Amino acid sequence: MKLPNKVTIKEVGPRDGLQNESQQVGTDNKTAWINRLSESGLSYIEVTSFVHPKWIPQLADAKEVLSSIKRKPGVTYAALVPNRRGLERALEGNVDEVSVFMSASETHNKKNINKTIADTLPVLKEVVQDAKAAGKSVRGYLSTVIACPHEGLIEPERVKAIAGELREMGIEELSLGETIGVAVPSQVERLLETLLPDFSEKFLAMHFHDTRGTALANVWKSLEMGITTFDSALGGLGGCPYAKGAAGNVATEDLLYMLGAAGIETGVSMDKLIEAGSYMESVLGKPMNSRQMEVYRKVEVE
């Protein structure tokens, strides 16, 4: 078994994590949290999204967050963008990288962005073109790559076809979203076996939600298959409000523990992550949902 020596962790907590928090978090708290994350050695932080504020009120302060964070050189500050209006707002906030997103499932796509898949593709194409013309790099997300809460299992060939359309638009990387956290490693293997003959390992990233505790096993399977970029959210925060039952992302600190113990380099400091996690626990007034934070809390008490 050959594992990669080095992995990139992309922190999505401030976006994916907070979009699913019902309790409104203040702009100052978001900024202070992102600044702490910037000090942890992470090279990529998805800080917010420029979606319609009525759809995701928690992230209505996207521009303020982007303009008030302290940008650390070497860190990419990215944001989710659904359409041209979102891109205009993101560019006003001087985002470093834009993430476009859509779903492999027709029903989830409609519920999430209010369009059919066929109608979404030209919208994203325009965003990718305009973002690149403005000098920004662009990442794509494809959601429900294993299963949809409404349509059930999604065929890997379907994922491959839409992934091809997104690559054609000129995105630099595609993150495969296991949106509802139902996948097991054999399904991830089948998906990647379908995609990898046509897509390079470096072009793909994996985005696992952890509803059923299988996210780390799925990460491991992906590592074995050569994937080296993983999305995660500090404290296991997150979920998609338009995918009922979806729990948080795999927790960054749990991912880091597994990678570190396996001798895989990430450049991220566990102590700094825990510090940022403790800060967010105090802001949210509840414990974070991660094994590492649990271990830390126990050690603190002893």
Q: Which is nearer to ligand HMG, 17 or 277 (CB)?
A: 17
Token representation of residue 225: 């298959």
Q: Select from Mg ion, ligand HMG, none the partner in contact with residue 86, using the beta carbon and a kind-dependent cut-off of 5 to 8 Å.
A: ligand HMG
Nearest approach, Cβ of residue 179 and Mg ion (Å): 6
For the segment 179-238, give every residue that binds ligand HMG (CB under 6 A).
179, 207, 209
Q: Can residue 44 be called a binding residue for ligand HMG (CB under 6 A)?
A: no
Q: Can residue 56 be called a binding residue for ligand HMG (CB under 6 A)?
A: yes
Q: Which is nearer to Mg ion, 90 or 240 (CB)?
A: 240
Task: Give how many residues touch ligand HMG by CB under 6 A.
Answer: 26
Task: Decide if 148 is catalytic.
Answer: no
Contact 175, 160 (CB under 8 A): no
Q: Which is nearer to ligand HMG, 98 or 274 (CB)?
A: 98
Nearest approach, Cβ of residue 286 and ligand HMG (Å): 21
Q: Can residue 16 be called a binding residue for ligand HMG (CB under 6 A)?
A: yes
Rule CB under 6 A: choose which of 19, 31, 40, 232 binds ligand HMG: 19
Q: Which is nearer to ligand HMG, 36 or 111 (CB)?
A: 111
Nearest approach, Cβ of residue 240 and ligand HMG (Å): 4
**String marking each residue 146-185 x if it binds ligand HMG according to CB under 6 A:** -------------------------------x-x------
Nearest approach, Cβ of residue 208 and ligand HMG (Å): 9
